[in-house]
Amino acid sequence: MAVYDEIGGAASVKAAVSVFYDRVLADPSVSPWFDGIDIMRLKSHQRAFLAAALGGPELFSGRDLASAHAGRDITDEGFDTIVEHLTTSLHDLGVADDVVTAVRERVEPLREDVVTA
């Protein structure tokens, strides 16, 4: 079974993205990276990306990660903070520890495309 199905499919991905961005935008250490960004559009892209990354049926057709994050000067510390917000959001929604670990393992290799500082 795909991680996408284990966490509850589209409804859970939507809830996770909503909780995740609430946390991220409230965190002054990372929120400046989102200044001037259309958050509703970003949430839509994030839902599609996360679903695809977790083995779901949605197709992600956005820019590649390196292009999307170019020039943002994202640090390793910032990446770690974002991952922590994601995993905390999943925990808050009742996702099992082993599934959260699987999500973390799928996200970690993206570091090389996201960290630009």
CATH class in words for 3-114 = mainly alpha
> Structure tokens of 93?
């929604």
pLDDT of residue 54: 77
- CA-CA distance, 61 to 7, in Å (whole number)? 22
Answer for the pair 4, 13: CB distance below 8 angstroms, yes or no: yes
Which of the residues in the chain have pLDDT under 50? none
pLDDT of residue 55: 82
Q: Which of 94, 17, 98 is nearest to 56 (CA)?
A: 17
pLDDT of residue 58: 67
Contacts of 115 (CB under 8 A, 6+ apart): 74, 75, 76, 78, 79
- Rounded to two decimals, the pTM is 0.83
Count the Cβ atoms, other than its own, within 10 Å of residue 28. 7
- CA-CA distance, 115 to 58, in Å (whole number)? 25
